[in-house]
Amino acid sequence: MRSSIVLLSLLVLAFISHSATAKKHPLDPLSASEINHVRKLVLKSKLGLHKNISFQYVALEAPEKEAVYEWKYGSSSLPPRKATVIARIPGETHQILVDFTSKEVVYDEVYQGFGYPIFTSEEQGKASQLPMEYPPFIESIRTRGLDMKSVLCSIFSVGWFGEKKQGKRVINVLCFYTNGTVNIYARPIEGVTVVVDLDQMKITRYIDRIKVPMPKAEGTDYRESTQKPPFGPTTNSISIEQPEGPSFKVHGHMVEWANWKFHVGFDVKAGPVISTADVYDPEKGRFRSVMYRAFISELFVPYMDPSEDWYYKTLFDAGEFGLGLSSVSLQPLNDCPRHAHYMDAIYAGANGKPVVKENVFCIFERYAGDVSWRHTESGIPDLVVTEVRPEVTLVVRMVATAGNYDYILDWEFKKNGAIRGNVGLSGILDYKATSYTHLDQIQKTNEDIYGNLLAENIIGTFHDHFLTFYLDMDVDGIENSFVKAMIKRKDVTNGQSPRKSYWTVEKMVAKTEDDAKIQFDLKKPADLLVINPNKKSKVGQDITYRLAPRSIATSLLSLDDYPQIQAAFTNNQVWVSRYNRTEQWAGGDYMDQSHGDDTLAVWTNKNRDIENKDIVLWYTMGIHHIPYQEDFPVMPTLSEGFELKPTNFFERNPILKLESTNASSLPKCKKAN
């Protein structure tokens, strides 16, 4: 549930603070001591006079990029550390900057715009408990013949639907029934909505609109302990052994592996943040910059049910609920393989004190029998040449359980210089209870149920997932350009060849932000390139990285639909913006009930010059989800991803000299009896 969180003892803080030998990095997330210091300074300020102050978001105030690079290349010390704070008192949102050097609150401004900050775990938990002592709700449960002891509730954001003024900071609480299962989402108490004012923390509206049959608990429990034989399908145990240990090294938040070095950070909204990613060039004998910073900026999940009880379910899981806040402790051997390295995360709770989550990240080497490169040559007389190299990659993983959905977030680094972003969707669908038990009944009524009937009395509602990635590419330097390499057909004329047509490439350099707005079209294929126009390869090619998307799903909502106005950053699948340190969150800093007036779409309306400038690439990966019976009662993982691939970045194949694997280098394992 979105409201659930395990607050671990602060006694473990000492175990995850930077060791004395770990090198500090300018982009390290705030430490426990820094979070405590922020809390102390804010509470000492005028804002601290309010008893009901709540720390909604506390994070490192990103230093200037130039200062980070100066530190990186050894010309300066660590830049000064600052923290950005979004705090809430009833009726007011405060934007605060804390300076650790001067030990003071630099500014404290009341936010006057539309929208509200991310929900805290604490207020989610409190709000979800309010119906349990609310007489009208208790009566609704009684009239349905249900047991209050088996009722659980969770919160859902209310969205924005054209109101001109800022609405109150309210959320909807929906409830579910266990009584025979832990799969609460499979037994929704349909038709009942509890509206809670978060500032007052009280119920302000109650709706009991319809009564719908409660889906049965039988067959919904997904726990291993509840399953009955026959089990399977079964295979023999599989484990990747590393007798000499893993090949990567972790120093604080810095990771070194093979030809890569990069920084792993944590943010309450984004979850994993990859920074200062450099790849080693064997030809040049040095590391070269690829990517300054990358993370999921927003995750938009609109459900396709416009009915009264569902229309508002247009969730923003990063800006409203927080992917980092929704992170869970990873389970060794199942979430991550043997020899994985685990990292904890620290963030500020609603009271401003540090909260620890153990094993939020795992880092591991992946080998799944894939081939890095190969060739067999049999065209030479009396000689057959076969060369094969296995592919081993490095994965940084975090799992965010945003209510019913589990998002498996991977950043994968390859020896060939590519970076792959991958998202796996699993967990439970947000089911809708119905009176229908068979498809024939629906067909007779011709009713639009806005989904598929998956089991008796259970509908899986149609919905989307749009993940917008912030990709600050610094390809061999800060100044880059965006190029669209369009594949176009050419006709052969004048009998120049037996062929009648072929295709060629025409390149278009984006001069401004408008030029770089891309909507995928299968009939207009193109490579999307981030180039360094100031450097060339030996043969004169632009030094380049290429965005290779796998998903081309786009939002089908009308542009004037209010959720789409909020999520205007999904209007295009690719955007390129001029770098601005404050433009990080595609939907704005205040996503809950925002009016869509501070989004990526608004920023790029400035149409800034982006040729040979410091630019940011934004990519939205979309998934149209039509639920099927195999998604019930728990969903097999559905994966989508993209790659950032070196393209004329190296002079030749950078993994040409990879060594092959031979049996003598492998551990000697005993054969099972």
Task: Give the residue numbers marked as catalytic.
Answer: 317, 405
d(CA 302, CA 159): 10
Q: How many CB atoms lie within 10 A of CB 111?
A: 16
d(CA 371, CA 388): 7
d(CA 280, CA 258): 9
For the chain, what is the radius of gyration of the CA atoms? Answer: 27
Q: If DSSP codes are grouped into helix, strand and coil, which group holds residue 150?
A: helix
390: left (phi over 0), alpha (psi -120 to 50) or beta: beta
Q: Which residues contact 274 (CB under 8 A, 6 or more apart)?
A: 262, 263, 264, 265, 291, 293, 294, 295, 396, 411, 419
- Alpha carbon 419 to its chain's center: 15
Please, are residues 191 and 143 in contact by the beta-carbon 8 Å criterion?
Answer: no
Please, are residues 657 and 587 in contact by the beta-carbon 8 Å criterion?
Answer: no
Q: Which residues contact 321 (CB under 8 A, 6 or more apart)?
A: 2, 118, 119, 157, 315, 402, 403
Q: How many CB atoms lie within 10 A of CB 69?
A: 18
What DSSP line would sit under 302-360, residue for residue? EBS--STTTTT-EEEIIIII-TTTTB----BTTTB-TT-EEEEEEEE-TTS-EEEEEEE
What DSSP line would sit under 634-646, residue for residue? SEEEEEEEEEEEE
Q: If DSSP codes are grouped into helix, strand and coil, which group holds residue 426?
A: strand
Place of tokens 């070095």: 261
463-473 and 104-110 beta bridge pairing = unpaired
d(CA 485, CA 306): 40
d(CA 275, CA 341): 19
- Could you give the count of Cα atoms lying within 13 Å of 156 in the half-sphere of its Cβ? 23
d(CA 653, CA 657): 9
In 352-478, at which residue ranges do the beta strands (DSSP E only) sit? 354-366, 371-380, 383-390, 393-402, 405-413, 419-427, 431-433, 451-455, 458-461, 463-473
What type of residue sits at position 612? Answer: N
3-state secondary structure 173-220: EEEEECCCCCCHHHCECCCEEEEEECCCCEEEEEEECCCCCCCCCCCC
Q: If DSSP codes are grouped into helix, strand and coil, which group holds residue 430?
A: coil
Task: Report phi then psi at 600, rounded to 5.
Answer: -55, -40
